[in-house]
Amino acid sequence: MLRIDDIQLAFGGLKALSGVSVHAQAGKITSVIGPNGAGKTSLFNVISGFYRPQSGSVVLDGQDISKLRPSQRAYCGMSRTFQNIALFHGMSVLDNIKLGAHTNLKSGVLSAGFRLAKTRREERELSAEIQRSIIGLLELDHVQHHHVEDLAYGLQKRVELARALVMKPKILLLDEPVAGMNSEEKREMSRFIVDVRNNWQTTVLLIEHDMSMVMGISDHVVVLSFGKPIASGTPDQVQANPEVIKAYLGSNDEPAASATVAA
């Protein structure tokens, strides 16, 4: 579904990514792990088009999207969440989720003033569609009309996931979806990610430091260290890889943590 090949990305003298290739298979959960500063978020920014690499290619479902802007990549079926929560305070859960479709609404912002009726109808249809397909799946029914800032942290992260799903993406990029969560929230989020994949066959590319989550739900794991790929394989293969264990020594993460989350 997604082929990222031989990415080179430098910020001045700092090589953030060198020779990074990741292939995410359709309908599978592929994870990118690595110690702090390894280049994981930079890789996501390259994939989603926020950073232009010096070389390398990004191919989504057979189409080379390397030259496309982030919004164009979204149209091609790519969606992402961010490492830090990016929700709009003062707005309801449902309205925040609806923002995930702003590029999809036929009436643009300018024409909205002139064609209010059409816009309102589109918005109503969008709300109904979101309530049918996403709110239920992610169990957000009881909070859909609450302001996002009133929700517990774990629920806010779930709203972000919901917003990323509105465009029915072919591929979903999740940057640390369980960072800062308690173990109950982590288990729930893992379950929702697996549910989304199982229900919609969405291809998932995941960045995460929580090793029990990664090892529990991933089909394939790629390990970066100082901007370079050092290992890839199944969770079991990666956990047993001496290079991986070495890269994590002295960091706070635990690559060999036993898998406790059932896929």
Ligand X SMILES: Nc1ncnc2c1ncn2[C@@H]1O[C@H](COP(=O)(O)OP(=O)(O)OP(=O)(O)O)[C@@H](O)[C@H]1O
Interface ranges with Mg ion (CB under 5 A): 40-41
CB of 159 to Mg ion, least distance (A): 20
Reduced to 3 states, what is the DSSP secondary structure of residue 54?
coil
The one among 18, 31, 41, 107 contacting ligand X by CB under 6 A = 41
Q: Which does 37 bind (CB under 5 to 8 A by kind): Mg ion, ligand X, none?
A: ligand X
Q: Which does 100 bind (CB under 5 to 8 A by kind): Mg ion, ligand X, none?
A: none
Report residue 176 as tokens.
């640390």
Give start and end residues of each alpha helix (H) in the chain: 40-48, 70-75, 93-98, 109-112, 116-130, 153-165, 183-200, 211-217, 235-239, 242-248
Q: Smallest Cα–Cα separation from 92: which of 135, 50, 49?
A: 135
Q: Which among 11-19, 20-28, 109-117, 184-192 is the span making contact with ligand X, rule CB under 6 A?
A: 11-19
Residue with token string 């590029």: 103
Could you give phi then psi for residue 9, rounded to 5 degrees?
A: -140, 125
CB of 139 to Mg ion, least distance (A): 27
Which of 6/125 has CB closer to ligand X?
A: 6
* Residue 11 binds to ligand X (criterion: CB under 6 A): yes
* Residue 37 binds to ligand X (criterion: CB under 6 A): yes
Q: Which among 20-28, 35-43, 59-67, 180-188 is the span making contact with ligand X, rule CB under 6 A?
A: 35-43
Q: What is the DSSP letter of 143?
A: G
Which of 11/114 has CB closer to ligand X?
A: 11
* Residue 40 binds to ligand X (criterion: CB under 6 A): yes
The one among 1, 4, 7, 16 contacting ligand X by CB under 6 A = 16
Which of 98/157 has CB closer to Mg ion?
A: 157
User: How many Cβ atoms sit within 10 Å of the Cβ of residue 182?
Assistant: 12
Q: What is the DSSP letter of 151?
A: S
Question: Which x/- pattern over 80-119 shows residues binding ligand X (rule: CB under 6 A)?
Answer: ---x------------------------------------
* Residue 229 binds to ligand X (criterion: CB under 6 A): no
CB of 22 to ligand X, least distance (A): 13
* Residue 38 binds to ligand X (criterion: CB under 6 A): yes
* Residue 34 binds to ligand X (criterion: CB under 6 A): yes
* Residue 13 binds to ligand X (criterion: CB under 6 A): no
Report residue 191 as tokens.
């379950």
CB of 111 to Mg ion, least distance (A): 38
d(CA 217, CA 174): 13
Contacts of 125 (CB under 8 A, 6+ apart): none
Q: Smallest Cα–Cα separation from 222: which of 236, 209, 233, 211?
A: 233
Could you give phi then psi for residue 7, rounded to 5 degrees?
A: -75, 130
